[in-house]
């Protein structure tokens, strides 16, 4: 009963909805993330948590870079392409207009803003890996309210 109460309480936490992208060579990956937080002002750093079996985590470990695409509320319809697990050889950005930032990691050209990061440290905790990235570049691309879990049925919590 205690575990059920804890999981019910965890489902009450609200998060932003982001598309995190990464690349090694010609292999790209992108996924919907909600466990993300700023962890330092100077230098600016953020952390993301990714399930340890997730293909994108393997690419981030091997490539040392990731981009956080901050999604607008009007972008809910395209989230579905990023929800399925990533696989080698599958480009989830196919057909989408994208920018290439200084790290070479894909940036969604119509996101509200983005942050390009270089992995500073990582650790495994529980069933997730945490990557702390130093923000190398970032930019607001357009006006718009950012997407949160309040705006979608997406809840990344244990059932």
pLDDT, block means (10 residues), the chain with 159 residues: 80 88 86 93 96 84 92 92 75 85 92 97 93 97 93 62
C-alpha span between 2 and 28 (Å, rounded): 40
Q: For the chain, how many helices (H) and strands (E)?
A: 3, 9
Does the predicted model carry a pTM greater than 0.85? yes
Separation of alpha carbons 99 and 137, rounded Å:
13
> Is residue 15 a contact partner of residue 148, using CB atoms and an 8 Å limit?
yes
User: Which residue ranges make up each domain of the chain?
Assistant: 16-151
CATH number for region 16-151? 2.30.110.10
Q: Nearest CA to 114 among 135, 140, 92, 132? A: 140
């Amino acid at each position: 009963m205690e575990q059920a109460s804890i999981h019910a309480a965890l489902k009450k936490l609200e998060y932003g909805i982001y598309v995190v992208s990464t690349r090694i060579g010609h292999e790209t990956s992108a996924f919907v993330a909600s466990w993300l937080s700023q962890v330092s002002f100077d230098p600016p750093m953020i952390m993301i948590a990714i399930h340890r079996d997730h293909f994108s985590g393997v690419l981030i470990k091997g490539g040392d870079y990731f981009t956080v695409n901050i999604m607008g509320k009007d972008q809910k319809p395209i989230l579905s392409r990023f929800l399925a697990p990533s696989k080698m050889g599958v480009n989830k950005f196919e057909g989408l207009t994208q920018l290439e930032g200084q790290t070479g990691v894909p940036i969604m050209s119509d996101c509200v803003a983005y942050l390009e990061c270089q992995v500073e440290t990582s650790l495994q905790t529980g069933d997730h890996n945490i990557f702390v990235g130093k923000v190398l570049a970032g930019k607001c691309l357009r006006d718009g309210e950012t997407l949160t879990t309040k705006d979608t049925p997406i809840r990344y919590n244990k059932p």
